[in-house]
Amino acid sequence: MLIIGGGVIGLMTALELAQAGVQVRVLEQGAFVKEASWAGGGIVSPLYPWRYSSAVTALASWSQSAYSHLSQELKTATGIDPELRQKGLLILAVDDEQAALDWAQQYQRPLCRINNEQVKVLEPGIAVGHGALWMPEVASIRNPRLGQALLARCQQMANIQLHEHSAVTGFCIANGLVSAVESGSQSYRAEQVVLCAGAWTGQLAQFLQLALPIEPVKGQMLVLQTEQPSVERVVLGRGRYLIPRNDGLLLVGSTLEYEGFDKTPQEQARQSLFQSACELLPSLDKAKVLHHWAGLRPGSPNGIPWIGQMPGWHNLHINAGHFRNGLVLAPASCGLMADLLLQRVPRVNPAPYQPQTRLNEINQK
Ligand SMILES: Cc1cc2nc3c(=O)[nH]c(=O)nc-3n(C[C@H](O)[C@H](O)[C@H](O)COP(=O)(O)OP(=O)(O)OC[C@H]3O[C@@H](n4cnc5c(N)ncnc54)[C@H](O)[C@@H]3O)c2cc1C
């Protein structure tokens, strides 16, 4: 099995397959887990989850119940702690509250409305307005550590071969199948190929004359060092969020920009993110910005990932297009990809993610 792309999706897919006894090779164009999977914030929930389709909710719910075990397993096996913090998500300034409450009831997700006094009990420093929505079971994960732990776990597996700085530059086709994958002067034979190239998956598919609507969506973030303790929980308001880490650092995210593959952080975004952070938590006005960066999310229509076999290509598969939710969706998405490849009973209904379904939806528009 050959996997193209060594972000969280590629490595978790590799691990799922290797744990079932499959020989896996992963080709990564740069260093492992240094693109979106490193750049992201690590909230283990979609932002405003009720605004997503049932397809996204199904994967997110499965993953949320799996993350605690996965995180513990990785820590035990590698000694690297992905720092899963299950401290809840506080959502301020929501104007579609009833939709949120209806969604929570339909999917049995813990979510309730709380008043300003209750907000202050949870997060004393937060600027209150008209109460908040509270999701006590939502977690966050330190995604760069998750990436390090996944990589270390893959390195431990005798049946995974990892190749860094090995960009895929072409495919060899024989009898309607992908027979090999080219990386510069190297050629790797493959019985099955899985595209896990994140924001670059659309570009990669063009080598096979396939048009996939997966495009880069830039997101800029800051990390702040604060003098006083900031927040304990993830706090979201007007599309911007604060994510506390175990060592006291505070992440602020994020922008949403359609600018191709440009990853340059911009001063205007830095100021806007800092201002949003201060609006949520006024005491941050004296915080120091330690780092400012951007990553490229793999944007796809409705944020629904593409998981399954490419129509017309018996040995070409895809697990990509997770947009803003690749970290939360990863365990379910990669598990489902492995279920389909190994002909196991799928852990969630695969229909909404299948490339054929997604292409039909696009053609009907
Ligand atoms: C600012 C920001 C905040 C985010 N916050 C969250 C969050 O809080 N929660 C959440 O769930 N998600 C979040 N996300 C989204 C999440 O990070 C992504 O959906 C997820 O990381 C996608 O994983 P991936 O493995 O598909 O992509 P990537 O991590 O980008 O990995 C793809 C890999 O493929 C490699 N590649 C590309 N082309 C080739 C080629 N030709 N040959 C070989 N290798 C190739 C790339 O180098 C890259 O390493 C955020 C993203 C950003 C940018």
pLDDT, averaged in runs of 10, over the chain (365 residues): 98 98 98 98 98 98 98 98 98 96 97 97 94 97 98 98 98 94 96 98 95 96 91 97 96 97 98 98 96 98 96 96 98 98 98 93 80
Handedness of CA 320, 322, 323, 326 (dihedral sign): negative
Q: Which atom of ligand 1 is nearest to the CA of 325?
A: 11
Q: What is the pLDDT of residue 199?
A: 98
Q: Are strands 234-237 and 89-92 parallel, antiparallel or unpaired?
A: parallel
Cα 322 to middle of ligand 1, angstroms? 8
Quote the distance between the C-alpha of residue 134 and its chain's center. Answer: 22
Residue 343 dihedral angles phi and psi, to the nearest 5°: 55, 40
Q: What is the pLDDT of residue 96?
A: 96
Q: What is the pLDDT of residue 172?
A: 96
- pTM for this model (two decimals): 0.98
For residue 278, the number of C-alpha atoms closer than 13 Å in the C-beta half-sphere is 12
Residue 51 dihedral angles phi and psi, to the nearest 5°: -85, 0
Cα 101 to middle of ligand 1, angstroms? 31
Q: What is the pLDDT of residue 256?
A: 98
β-strand partners of 197: none
Q: What is the pLDDT of residue 235?
A: 98
Provide the 8-state DSSP code for 165.
S
Q: Which atom of ligand 1 is nearest to the CA of 32?
A: 49
Cα 354 to middle of ligand 1, angstroms? 20
Cα 117 to middle of ligand 1, angstroms? 38
Q: What is the pLDDT of residue 229?
A: 80
Residues with CB under 6 A from ligand 1: 4-10, 27-30, 35-37, 39-43, 167-168, 196-200, 204, 219, 221, 253-254, 295, 297-298, 320, 322-328
**Distance separating alpha carbons of residues 245 and 203, to the nearest angstrom:** 34
**Distance separating alpha carbons of residues 43 and 84, to the nearest angstrom:** 10
Cα 173 to middle of ligand 1, angstroms? 27
